[in-house]
Structure 1
Amino acid sequence: MKNSKSIGVFLSKKIIRLITLLVALCIITFVLMELSPIDPVTAYVGASTKVSAAQRELIAEHWGLNQPPVERFMCWFKSIIQGDWGTSLIYRRPVLEVIGQKFKASLYLMIIAWAISGILGFVMGIISGSNENKVIDKIIRGYCYIVISTPTFWLGILFIMVFSVSLGWFPVALGVPIGVSTADVTFMDLLSHIILPAFTLSLIGVSNICLHTREKVIEVMNSDYVLFAKARGESKKSIIFNHVIKNVSLPAITLQFLSFSELFAGTIFAEQVFSYPGLGQATVSAGLKGDLPLLMGIVIISCIFVYSGNVIADLLYRVIDPRIKGGEVA
C-alpha cells in the first residue's frame, strides 16, 4: 500500500513536470519560428509569381498569420486545450491526422531499431566485459568508438551506396514502392524499405548500451562474490548466467529507455537520408516551410514520447529494486 502511494506521488510529480516542460517548449518553439526568416505565406504558395499581394493577404488572413504573435499563440493554446490541434499548412489536413499517420510509420522504424540495438548492445557488452583486454574486447570497443562518432546521415548515405546502388539488395529510398497503391503494398515491400533505415539507427544505438554494459560487467566480475564463485570452482559460463546478467540487466534496460531522445533525433536524420515518410521528415518539412501548427504538434508528441521513456526507466528502477526511492531521472 505504501509502495503504491509512493508511485502515485512520483507519477503526479512527473505529470506536473511534463505539463511545465510542454508549455515551456511550446513557447520557445513559437518564439523561434517568429524569429525565423521563413515566410509561411511564401512557403504556402511556393515560387509562383501569379499570386498577387491581395491574394497573399487573404491567405494570411485565412490562416490567421496577420494577427499579432501573442494573439496567435494564445488562440492556438486555447484550441489545443479544447482538443483542436489546427490544420497543417503543408498537407492541408488536420494536424492530428498528419501526426498519426507519420508517427505510425516512424514508430515501426524506431521499435525495430530500438529492439535490435538494445539486444545487440547488451550481448556485445557482456562478451566484451567478460573478456577484458582480450582481442575480442578490443575489437568490440574499437567498433563502438568508431560508430559512436559516426554521423547518422553519413552512415545512411554509405549504406545506400553499398547495399542499394552497388549491390541492389534494398530500395534506395521511400517507405513503399513507387507507383503502387496502398492496397497492393505487401509486407515484404514494407520490410525491404525499412531494413536499411532501421539498420542504420541500430548500429548507431548499439555503442552506448554496449560500453555501459561492459563497464558494469567488469565491475561485477571483479566483485567479491564472483571471486568467491571462481574459488568455489564455478565455470565462467555459469558465473555469467547466474551472476553477471542478473546484475547488469537493470542498468542496461534503464539506459535503453533513456535512449528514446537519441533514437528520435537519429530518426530525423535517417528519414531525411532515406526519404522515409515518417515524423522526422515531417518535422524538417514543417520547420523549413513555416508550418507552425504541425511543428507545434510534433513538438508536443515528441516531448511526451521522450519523457515517457525517462518515466518508464525510473519506474523500472522503483519496481524491480524497491530500495531505490529518491533517485529520479531528469
Structure 2
Amino acid sequence: MKGWLVPLLYDRAVRLLWLVPLASVGLFTLVSLAPIDPVQAYVGARVALVGPEQREAIAAVWGLDAPAHERFLVWAGNALSGDLGDSITFNAPVTQVIADRFPASLTLVGAAFLFSFAAGTALGLIAAATRGRWPDRIIRGVAVVLAASPGFWIALLLIAIFAVGLGLLPACCAAPPGLTAAEVGLADRLQHLVLPVVAVSVVGISPLILHTRQRLVAFLDSPAGSHLAAHGAGRVWLAFGPGLRHALGPALTVHLAGAGELFGGSVLAETVFAWPGLGQATVQAALGADAPLLMGIALATLLFVFIGNLLADVAARVLDPRLRPEARHD
C-alpha cells in the first residue's frame, strides 16, 4: 500500500496548495462585490440612532474603509498565522464560531452520510434484483423524483407530514427548547436528528440508487453472473451475495466523492430546522456580508470536501487493485 499511498498524498497536497489561494481570492472577490453593506446589516433597525460618523467609525474598526485588495492581503497574512479574524455577526473569533458549530454539522452530515449510503445501496440492489418488474420501476421513479426535488421543499414536506400532521417528530432545533445541555438525553437528541438527517440524505440517495443498480445489472449480465444463474442462483442471492461485493466498492467511492454535496445540502436543512451548525451560520453570515466568517467557513468546507475526495481515491484503490499505478503499468 505504501507504494501508491505516499505519491497519492503528495499529489493531493500539491493540489491543495494552489486550490486554497485560488478559492480564497474568488470568494473574497464575490463577498466584496455583494450588494449588502455590512455596517447597514449590523445596524439594522437602529439606523435612525446611528449617525454617519458612527457608521464610519464602525467601518474603520472592522477595516472596511480600506480597499478590497488591501483587506484581502491583511486577511491572508493573518490567516497564515492561524487568525481568521472576528465574525461581525457573532462578535466572536471566527475559529471559535467554527469550533462551536462544527460538531453539530458533523453529526448531521455524518448521520446523513451513513443513512444515505445504507438506503441508497440497498434500494439499488433491490432495483437490480427485480429488474423490469414493479419494485424496480417504483425505486427508479422515486430516485428520479428525489433527484429533481429541491432540498428545502423536502424539508418543509417532512415537517408538514411528520411534525405538524402526525406530531411524531419535532420540527426544529437539535434539542428541546428551554433545556440545558445536561438536561437533554440521548433519546431527545436522536428524535430531533431524524427529520434533518432524512432531508440532507435526499442529496446522496438518488445517485447511489442509480449507480448501484447499474453496477449490479452489469454484474448480473456478465459471464460470471450468467454462470452462477445457470447453476440455479437466484437474482436476490446474486444481488446481496457476490453482487454486493461487486457494487459496494464503487458505491462507497461515489458516495465519498459526493460528501461536499451533503455538506451543501445541510446548509438549507439547518436553516429550515434551525439546526445550530455551520450551515445556519453561513446563511446568517451571508445576510450580514460577514466576510471573515464566510471565508473561514469556506476554508473549512473546502478541507472537508478535499478529505472526502481523498478518502474516495484511497477507498477506490484499496477496494480495486486494478486502479493502483503498479497495476496500470503491468
TM-score, normalised with respect to structure 2: 0.94
**Residues 42-100 of structure 1: CA distance to partner in whole angstroms, max 9, x if unpaired?**
11222212112111111111111111211110110011100111111111111111111
- Within the candidate set 22, 29, 32, 2:30 is matched to 32
Q: What does 1:43-82 align with in structure 2 at a 5 Å threshold?
A: 43-48=41-46, 49-82=48-81
The answer for the alignment partner of 1:218 in structure 2 is 217
**Residues 226-253 of structure 1: CA distance to partner in whole angstroms, max 9, x if unpaired?**
2112223334454334421111111001
Offset, 1:5? 3.8
The answer for the alignment partner of 1:263 in structure 2 is 262
Distance in 2, Cα, partners of 1:57 & 1:72: 16
Letter matched to residue 21 of structure 1: L
Distance in 1, Cα, partners of 2:315 & 2:172: 37
Distance in 2, Cα, partners of 1:225 & 1:270: 43
The answer for the alignment partner of 2:293 in structure 1 is 294
Q: What does 1:1-330 align with in structure 2 at a 5 Å threshold?
A: 3-48=1-46, 49-325=48-324
Distance in 2, Cα, partners of 1:232 & 1:172: 52
Offset, 1:179? 2.0
Contact 2:204–2:255 under 8 Å retained in 1: no
Letter matched to residue 217 of structure 2: I
Which moves more between the two structures, 88-97 or 164-173?
A: 164-173
Distance in 2, Cα, partners of 1:42 & 1:237: 62
The answer for the alignment partner of 2:328 in structure 1 is none
Distance in 2, Cα, partners of 1:196 & 1:120: 15
Contact 2:128–2:239 under 8 Å retained in 1: no
Distance in 1, Cα, partners of 2:245 & 2:190: 34
Which moves more between the two structures, 126-135 or 316-325?
A: 316-325
**Residues 262-292 of structure 1: CA distance to partner in whole angstroms, max 9, x if unpaired?**
1011111111111211111111111110111
Distance in 2, Cα, partners of 1:240 & 1:155: 30
Percentage of matched positions with identical amino acids? 38
Letter matched to residue 210 of structure 1: I
Structure 1 regions of 5+ residues with no counterpart?
none
Distance in 1, Cα, partners of 2:235 & 2:141: 24
Offset, 1:129? 0.5
Structure 2 regions of 5+ residues with no counterpart?
326-330
**Residues 121-163 of structure 1: CA distance to partner in whole angstroms, max 9, x if unpaired?**
1111111111110111111111111111111100111111111
**Residues 190-234 of structure 1: CA distance to partner in whole angstroms, max 9, x if unpaired?**
222221111112234211101100001110000011211222333
- Count of aligned positions: 325
Offset, 1:189? 2.4
TM-score, normalised with respect to structure 1: 0.94
Distance in 2, Cα, partners of 1:153 & 1:35: 27
Contact 2:203–2:261 under 8 Å retained in 1: no
Do the aligned partners of residues 234 and 157 (structure 1) sit closer, same or farther apart at CA in structure 2, a change above 3 Å counting?
Answer: closer
Distance in 2, Cα, partners of 1:194 & 1:236: 36
RMSD: 1.6
Distance in 2, Cα, partners of 1:281 & 1:8: 37
Partner SS for 1:176:
coil
Contact 2:208–2:251 under 8 Å retained in 1: yes
Letter matched to residue 37 of structure 1: P
Which moves more between the two structures, 231-240 or 44-53?
A: 231-240
Distance in 2, Cα, partners of 1:272 & 1:241: 38
Distance in 2, Cα, partners of 1:241 & 1:185: 39
